[in-house]
Structure 1
Amino acid sequence: MLIISLRGCIFKKNLIYFVNDIIKFLRKLPKISLLIITILLQQIAKSQLIVGETDPIILVSNVLVGKGQNIKISNIQYTGYNRASGFFENGKSTKLNMEAGIILSSGVAIGAKGPNNNPSKTSFETGSNMPGSALLDVFAVGKTFDAVILQFDFVPQTEEIVFNYVFASEEYLEYVDQNFSDIFGFFISGPGISGEQNVALVPGTNLPVCIDNINHLRNTSYFINNPNGEKTLQADGLTKILTATLKLVPCQTYTIKLAVADVNDRLLDTYVFIESGSFKHKTNMGRDTFICKDGFDVELDAGNYTRKVKWTCKDPKITITDDTAHKIRVNAYGEYCVEVFTDCGSFINCKKILPGVANISIGNDTLFCGDTLSKTLTVANRVFDSYLWSDSSTDPELVVNKKGLYWLEVNNGGCIKRDSVFIDLQPLPKIDLGNDTIVCGDFDLIIGTNTIADRYLWNTGDTLSRIHINKGGKYILKVEERTCKAIDSIIVTKRNKFNLNIGSPRTEICNNDTLTLRTGIYDTLNFITKWNNGSSNPSITINQTGRYTVWVKDKLCNFIAYDSMDVDVYKGLGNVWVPNAFTPDNNLLNDVFKPVSDISTFNYYKFAIFDRWGQKIFESTNPQSGWDGFINNKLSPNDVYIWTLYIKSNCSNGNINFLKGVVHLVR
């Protein structure tokens, strides 16, 4: 919008100065040789124009002049902004239809590169300090600005030299006949020519090549529209390939000037693309020829009938019978070259005979899964003269959004190829295994889907639509119909009956200690806990003698579990009692003699028995072990025996306690 509004604005000049100064300050790029640029840009996408910058001397010597032409080039000069000239490659993949060559621009050369995403592209960095061209002013409908002129001297070997070019501009289409007719000129001067003659003319006329002379309204057969959104070239319109012919005196020196400029303002860039190697001596061979089918017979004409010629083919398998004739006939694909001998030496022109259109492909048959589809059909990395799709559209690509058979017919040099593709749409299989499920105890369930499909695969390895399960876990089902897949899963959680264990059935603690009893179940959301002391917590802490009972219920499955513990609280040793008689007669009553206590754990314990003469007959440090009335595996006699007990409990204070007494063994 800014660029369009500038046209006709009285402050336009100052704004351009301002923008140009800023860009000049930021842009300090070194020149890069053509060779380096070419190597780097080979990695760029094949369907886009490749544009680079290099020295104009290299452009003329290495790009413009055809190989083998032996045209002597000298005094190369360049006038204009230093970034307004450059080279292009990969042009065959664009509407230019020429593979490589030189760019001259009233803006910046690299601005020609696509996509066409700016309908009014202007390179402000060229600034208002670039003058116009007096030569172009003669032919233009107004004053020229931002002129670029590439000139050089050359010595031709024959009477005619030709070159091919394409004129393109952002002025199309909206500024046709609006006095902004940007222009291109090809001026030749030298022997036999009066002044400087412009040979860049609309074919069959004396009209210069400019916006108003070739467009969508007049001379339309030479015009190609390039609307916004086109991917390979920035300009909004361009001409087809035009050929300029120079009438010359052989072996004499001529000067040529190639010039392009804006007209009546400095806005909207214009470009001229000059085909690589097309500045060459004329023969009657013409451009490369595309043959639509085998079994052809083509005549090649070297022209130059007063001069000697020599034909060759770059394919050593192909033999030319009459290789010195001016006209030959060929019936095999290949590159044919003719050397023409002149008074100043010789030159070589070549022509390729190529298959018209190789087989094309717009892709493979494709199946989309789901409810919608979108696919762009195109022939990748190739450009043709015309396109015709099955829906009668004529763009290089077709966006489809419904199933069906689609075909494309392309025409290149009169050769036609067709390809078709079927686009299908398959709804995704619909499966629903249900919500995640909790089961109580042992179970046997059937899970699965009623969806009819080609294939089923469970993470269990089963391949049926429904399966039996009796274990908890995550079950995943993949369903495939043709190549369309759907997946669903379900988590089955098994809840088992459970037991409680809050500890030993009987426990002693000291009177100053506490004991924490835990159920081990802390899921208060799904379990209910009740203690006989009224608590509903997963654990309680106690310090009183008593029986503690807990009840836990699984709310989801109604499983219930119980447990209890007797707790004794004592001081010191607690209660220790030693019998004064025992009867070891194997009647299972009072057969063993040992101390009895209401506590079960001691820090220190030693129990010993002596006979009346003081001889030790029994000793134990285990509170659960006692004397069974035997001495050295022999029954002891009825008698009185002396016992001693050294003992210290967890709750004892100070030293070990000592107790003693007598016991009667009675049989």
Structure 2
Amino acid sequence: MKLRPAIFILLFLSASFSLTGQVTVNVGFTAQQLAQMLVGQGISISNVTGTGLQGSGTYLAGKFYGGLNDIGIDSGIVMTSGSALIAQGPNNQGSAGMGVGLPGDPQLTALAGVGTNDACVLEFDFIPQYDTIRFQYVFGSEEYHSFVASYNDIFAFFISGPRPGGGNYNNTNIALIPGTDLPVSIYNINFGHIGDCPGTACINCEYLISNCGNCQNGCASGVSVEYDAYTVVLTAWAVVIPCQTYHLKLAIADAVDASLDSGVFLEAGSFSSPGVTINPVYSTPGGERLAVEGCSYVDLVVSIPFPMSDTMWLVFDSIRGTATNGVDCNFINDSIFIAPGQLSNYLRITPVYDGTVEPTETLIFYYSSSSACTGTTFSSIVVYLADWNPIDIGSDTTVCQGTPLVYDAGENYRFYQWQDGSTNRYFIPNTSAPGTQTISVTVTDIYLCTSSDTLQLLVAPLPGAKLIRHN
């Protein structure tokens, strides 16, 4: 792990912008308040209880905000095996954790195969409106990367209730690696390790992001969470019977000892039972869940569980937000259809580059739907639009031979590539000989969007000595 030092530097021809987003954790909430933050479309909950939400004056669970640019989830609740406040980072401790003296959980112990400690549990009954439930989450841990083959803190999402087609879910874990029956865990998702650093192995590593700032391998994201690695955004889901009562238990605990913390971030409003689902799918190269001016777009994908024999229309009640439809992006119609026999369609939203530095903007799509359980419900989906930071190293320049000159590509880019292959922020041209040079640079920003700029540098020869005669 690495605490990033402050850097003071003289700017020449700079292009800069402000980084947004810092994970912030607040604590002191009841189990009811935490559970209610998770609830989205098509779900009603009751009988909420919490165990181990607080121990020895330390809160193991809380609400978090500002995580969009770092963990891919803007806000929600965080459950940990130690201190929820440690989760917010920055990642500046080699071994962050807090033992709070709480017992483990029997079901987690059975799943882990070893003893557990400091269990944090949130559980409740729920009634789904439709035939599927799901929610989104990110798991992170301080036990990455050193202990991928030994100490494995454990978490699970246990569901109980009637299965469609007969039988029952009986504390069935739905926190699984996509397309498998393997639980999401440090043992099942890792890079291996070389000392304290990520190694060269790949065990389902496409689902993992390293946050190890002082290591050579796999260091890919920011520092506003403490954990040495965390997963990409994953989805837990189960097929259910509409209008029936189910039980969900969300649980996390330390395994073997209580030294290092792990945590799971659950997205606000994502615990849902959708009929018609609406999901934003972003094309941003770095995987961030926002569309960047001049670089990427977002498809608002509307899906239904099964194909219809007739055309199905969805009409939005309204489109609002801080962005202006038709100004900050292409104009978006207030309706979309799904053709007969199809399962989905999409609206493409492309942000317009306006050269103005602004905070991340939103478009909020409001819509209503009907269910046999609850009648008409009202929902919304948010799309995020971010500024682009194109490179600008200035205009064509003429200088005298031997004039010192430095070009500055600006801060807040991840990568730099000058015409001579150098990869530093600054470029010092050779002005010792007269002639014309082409100066060009390509930069990659925090979203992995690229931009380039080119100029011509004319180095003029020094004037020759002029003999002056005096009478």
TM class by smaller structure:
0.5 to 0.7
Unaligned runs of 5+ in 2: 1-18, 192-200, 215-221, 285-294, 321-331, 351-362, 398-402, 430-439, 463-471
Unaligned runs of 5+ in 1: 1-44, 380-386, 393-397, 425-451, 453-667
Identity level (%):
29
Per the TM alignment, residue 194 of structure 1 is displaced from its structure 2 partner at its CA by 3.6
The structure with the larger Rg is: 1
Separation (CA, whole Å) in 2 of partners of 1:78 and 1:421: 59
- 1:604-643 alignment, distance < 5 Å: none
Q: Which residue number corresponds to residue 360 of structure 1?
A: 389
Per the TM alignment, residue 284 of structure 1 is displaced from its structure 2 partner at its CA by 6.6
Per the TM alignment, residue 338 of structure 1 is displaced from its structure 2 partner at its CA by 5.0
Q: 1:403 aligns with which of 410, 425, 428?
A: 428
TM-score normalised by length of structure 2: 0.65
Q: Which residue number corresponds to residue 262 of structure 1?
A: 254
- 1:42-441 alignment, distance < 5 Å: 46-55=20-29, 56-61=31-36, 63-66=37-40, 69-82=41-54, 83-94=59-70, 96-124=71-99, 126=100, 129-178=101-150, 180-192=151-163, 193-216=168-191, 217=201, 218-228=203-213, 230-282=222-274, 285=277, 287-290=279-282, 300-303=302-305, 310-312=314-316, 314-315=318-319, 318-320=333-335, 327-328=344-345, 330=347, 335-336=364-365, 339-344=368-373, 345-348=375-378, 350-351=380-381, 358-361=387-390, 377-378=411-412, 388-390=415-417, 400=425, 403=428, 406-410=441-445, 416-418=449-451
Closer, same or farther: CA 76–362 of 1 in aligned 2, 3 Å: farther
Check conservation: 1:310, 1:324, Cα contact below 8 A: no
Q: Using CA pairs below 8 Å that are at least 6 residues apart, which structure has the higher relative contact order?
A: 2
Separation (CA, whole Å) in 1 of partners of 2:131 and 2:446: 36
Check conservation: 2:175, 2:184, Cα contact below 8 A: yes
Separation (CA, whole Å) in 1 of partners of 2:223 and 2:207: 21
Closer, same or farther: CA 184–377 of 1 in aligned 2, 3 Å: same
Separation (CA, whole Å) in 2 of partners of 1:173 and 1:274: 22
Check conservation: 1:376, 1:399, Cα contact below 8 A: no
Q: Which residue number corresponds to residue 555 of structure 1?
A: none
Separation (CA, whole Å) in 1 of partners of 2:176 and 2:333: 40
- 1:453-488 Cα distance to aligned partner (Å, 9 max, x none): xxxxxxxxxxxxxxxxxxxxxxxxxxxxxxxxxxxx
Separation (CA, whole Å) in 2 of partners of 1:286 and 1:329: 9
Separation (CA, whole Å) in 2 of partners of 1:313 and 1:324: 21
Separation (CA, whole Å) in 2 of partners of 1:155 and 1:199: 17
Check conservation: 2:81, 2:118, Cα contact below 8 A: yes
Q: Which residue number corresponds to residue 37 of structure 1?
A: none
Separation (CA, whole Å) in 2 of partners of 1:234 and 1:280: 29
Please give the secondary structure, in 1, of the residue aligned with 2:333.
Answer: coil
Residue 403 of structure 1 aligns with an amino acid whose one-letter code is I
Check conservation: 2:318, 2:365, Cα contact below 8 A: yes
CA root-mean-square deviation: 4.0
Q: Which residue number corresponds to residue 217 of structure 2?
A: none
Separation (CA, whole Å) in 2 of partners of 1:106 and 1:195: 24
Would you say how many aligned residue pairs link Structure 1 and Structure 2?
358
TM-score normalised by length of structure 1: 0.47
Check conservation: 2:364, 2:380, Cα contact below 8 A: yes
Closer, same or farther: CA 233–338 of 1 in aligned 2, 3 Å: same
